Amino acid sequence: MNKKNTMILIVLFIAVVVFVGFAGKEGGIFRKKVQKAVVQTTAQTQEQAAPSVQPEPGGDAVSQVAQSSPGNEQPLSAPEEEAPTVEIPEAGQRFIGVKTATVVEKTLNKTIRTVGRVEYDERKIATVNTKIEGWIENLRVNYTGRYVQKGEILAEIYSPELVAAQQEYLNILKWSRQSVAPAGAEESSAINRMLAQDAEAMRQAARQRLRFFDISEAQIRKIEATGSPLRTLAVFSPVSGYVVQKSALQGMKVQPGEKLFDLVDTSTVWVVSDIYEYELASIRTGQKAEITLGSLPGRVFVSAIEYVAPILAGETRTDKVRFTLENKGGELKPQMYANVEIKIPLGSRLVVPDAALINTGARQLVYVDKGDGYFEPREVSVGVKAEGMSEILRGLQGGEKVASAATFLIDSEARLKGVVK
């Protein structure tokens, strides 16, 4: 039985070798079919390319055939080269999660969110100093943080120089009153008028000197009424506000120009925020912002940008913008932190989702859905970005569809197949 099976296998092997050898003659049977098909196709092509020529009456058929021969035909323009695409079947798209979005015109509103700090309104900071040399005999305001009213006495200073100036004024005032001649002295009227004019000029000069020492009109009238100089000079507050710095001490000696107090009016405060360098192109004075503070939940302050700093901070690459807020109740305290939202209307823009963009570093790409599973890589120019959308300046038209999800997988496939370099 084994010998019989062996004989059968040998016979089958010899038959296969004979069949293959027969098929290999003249290129084999598959080769012949291909050649026949090629020859037939070539003949059909030649027949279609050579137009049938009907000889016209009185014409030469041979010449007409020569004129209509393929060699005399006008050259055809080369077909336009199609943009390269990458094919991803629908099943593959579903597997990797491909989604598409339509390029549309949309009204954008950009929101810049940042943080800020409450600071003093520098326009309402005042300093109090003295123009005379002396000693503080009575310090009325003796601690930092006290609230004072405008015109309130802060301190009283004794100054020998000031007492001398007051005494000089009283002497001139007394002499000017005595220099008036009695009625009826006509012969000395001219001299008396001259003396009276000189005395009045000296009195005005002495009075002006007292004003330069910051003695008020009320104090000068009191000196004139009592006929004796004031021992101390009262230093008044120029504004209503808080004492933020106090250098004055009871009994200390002061020099002209020495600072005694710093006062600030907190009825208005500033909020100063940092804006990153790449956002500065959208910032303008007058833009509205909503300001909130964690210490005042539920309160929203609306203000406009009134100042943009002309100098950028090199360490943080940020710029300062400033807002002014009303603070009549004193709820806003300097050094509080604030959240700032600046809303900027950008108008109507041609946009795609941010996820549709592939940033290669040198350029921006999107993959346009051409249908039937084909995606075309296309370079675009990108403008502003807001609300998760990117403005397209060049490269796309409204109504086209682009891949908006799994774009990196599509890009990887395109690079593997050499569609994108």
Report domain extents, the chain: 2-50, 86-108+347-416, 114-121+266-345, 127-262
Long-range Cβ contact pairs of 312-318 (< 8 A, separation 24 or more): 312/277, 313/274, 316/274, 317/276, 317/277, 318/274, 318/275, 318/276, 318/277
Q: Taking a C-beta distance cutoff of 8 angstroms, is the pair 353, 390 a contact?
A: yes
Q: pLDDT > 70: what percent of the chain?
A: 78
Give the confidence band of 49 by pLDDT, cuts at 50, 70, 90: very low
Task: Flag the least confident range among 26-35, 65-74, 184-193, 199-208.
Answer: 26-35
Q: Can you state the percent helix, strand and coil of the chain, rounding each to 5?
A: 35, 35, 35
**Pair of tokens at residue 352:** 């795609």
Residue 158 has pLDDT above 50, yes or no: yes
| Class of the CATH-defined domain 86-108+347-416 | mainly beta
Residue 99 has pLDDT above 70, yes or no: yes
Residue 371 has pLDDT above 60, yes or no: yes
Residue 262, strand partner residues? 127, 245
Residue 380 has pLDDT above 60, yes or no: yes
Instruction: Output the pLDDT for position 5.
Output: 61
Q: Taking a C-beta distance cutoff of 8 angstroms, is the pair 266, 145 a contact?
A: no
| Class of the CATH-defined domain 127-262 | mainly beta
Burial of residue 385 (CB within 10 Å: 0-12, 13-18, 19+) is: middle
Q: How far apart are CA 147 and CA 337, in angstroms?
A: 23
Its pTM stands at 0.65
The CATH number of 114-121+266-345, from 3.30.360.10, 3.40.50.700, 2.40.30.170, 2.60.120.260, is 2.40.30.170
Cα 312 to the center of its chain, rounded Å: 12
- pLDDT, average across residues 65-91: 62
Instruction: Output the pLDDT for position 4.
Output: 59
Instruction: Output the pLDDT for position 54.
Output: 47
Average of per-residue pLDDT values in the chain: 81
- pLDDT, average across residues 257-278: 94
Residue 1 has pLDDT above 70, yes or no: no
Instruction: Output the pLDDT for position 11.
Output: 56
Give the confidence band of 6 by pLDDT, cuts at 50, 70, 90: low
Instruction: Output the pLDDT for position 33.
Output: 33
